Amino acid sequence: MTAKVLNLKLDRAAKLPLAFVQCLMVCVVLAAVLAVNAHAETTTKNGSSAAGNAATRTTVDAINSIISSGLMGGAGVFRIRLGEGSTPELSKGMAASFDSSNLSIWFTPVLTRVDNKIAPLFTEGSVNLLMGGIEYNHEDTVIIGVSLTRDWANMTSTEISTTTSTSAVTGLGYTVAPYVAWQLNPSWLLDASFGAGNSQLESTKSDGTVASPKDERSFVSMGATYLKPLTDKAMFTGKSTLSRSRDFIDTFNSTRGTTVTSNTSSATYLNQLKLGGQLSYRLGSFTPYAGGYYIQNDFTVDSTSSVKPVEYQTVSQWVAGLNFSTGPVYGALAFQQEQGRTQSRLYLGYRF
C-alpha cells in the first residue's frame, strides 16, 4: 500500500461522521442494558443451565471470530457485495476491492464440538451454527452490520455430587447481533457488538424427569485486533476482548410420571477479559496458525441450588488451526484448549 493511499485511509478515519460514534455508543449502552436488565432469585436446573451456557459461549466466540477474521483476514467468510454484476468473491479483508455497492451480505456454517470438565458439572456434545449477516462499508474504514445466527445444540450434562445425575439436552435457538468495526489503519481494528436471543431447550434426566425450559441470552463485546506482517508469508495477530454475557431461564414446569414440579427462574453472568495472540504462516491455499491467550473470568450464578456451574477465575488458552481456500471451497479447522475445557470448530463453505 502506497503512502498516499495509507494517508487517505487515515484521513478518512479521522473524519468519521459523528453518527458512527453515536451509533457505537448506543450499541454499547443497549448491550449493557440487555446484559443486566433481569435478576433471578431462585434455583436452577443445572443440566439445562450448563447446556445453555455452552451454546451461548460458542455463539459469542463465533460471532467475534467472524467479525475480526472477515475484516482483517483469517477464517473464510463468504461475502457478496450487493449490486455486483460479476461473480462474487471471497472477501480477504475489510479493504477488499468492490466496485458498485457499499452493502454486502455474508454467511457461513460453523460445526462445534465442546467438552467441558469443570466439576461439579460436566458438559459435552455439539453446538452447530448457521450464521449470516448484512453490512454497510463506509469508505473502507468503518462497517456497520447485523448478524443472525441459528443454533442447534445436542448436549449431555452430568452433575457430580453425592449422587450422579445425567441430563440429555437439546436446543434450538437464534441470536441477533448488531456490530460495528473501525479499521484505524492496515494494522489496527476496533470492533464492538451486542446480541440477544433465546434457545428452546428439551431436557430429559436419567431419573425420567422431562422439562422444556427456555434460555434467554444476551451479550456485549468490545475488542481490538493488531496485525503485524513478519515476512511475506508469516503474520502475527494480537487480540484483546472484553465481554459480558447473560443466560436467564424463566419459571418452567418439569414432569416425572404424573408428578409436575414448578421450577423457579435462574440466571448466570460471565464477565471475561481475553488477551493474547497467534502466529500464522501462509502455504499456498493453506494457512496454519497457533497461539495462546490469557483469560480472566468473573462468573456469577444466581441460584440457591447446592450444585452450581463453575468457571475458573484465570486460565491459559491454547489455540491451533488451519485456514484454507481452494477454488470455490473455503473454510477453517480450529482447536482450542484451556483448563477443564476443550473445543473444536469447523467452518466450511462453497462459493457459487
Tens digit of each residue's pLDDT (9 = 90 or more) over 63-75: 887 776 545 544 4
What per-residue confidence (pLDDT) applies to 50? 73
| Low-confidence spans in the chain with pLDDT less than 70 | 1-48, 68-100, 162, 304-307, 328-329, 349-352
What per-residue confidence (pLDDT) applies to 41? 31
What per-residue confidence (pLDDT) applies to 138? 84
Taking CA atoms, 348 is separated from 32, 282, 284, 330, in Å, by 33, 19, 18, 6
Among residues 347, 286, 328, 334, the alpha carbon closest in space to that of 90 is found at 328
What per-residue confidence (pLDDT) applies to 30? 47
What per-residue confidence (pLDDT) applies to 3? 39
* Cis bond before residue 120 (omega within 30° of 0): yes
What per-residue confidence (pLDDT) applies to 121? 82
Quote the cell numbers at residue 34: 440487555
Q: Does domain 3-350 have CATH number 3.40.50.1370?
A: no
What per-residue confidence (pLDDT) applies to 88? 38
What per-residue confidence (pLDDT) applies to 298? 94
What per-residue confidence (pLDDT) applies to 196? 96
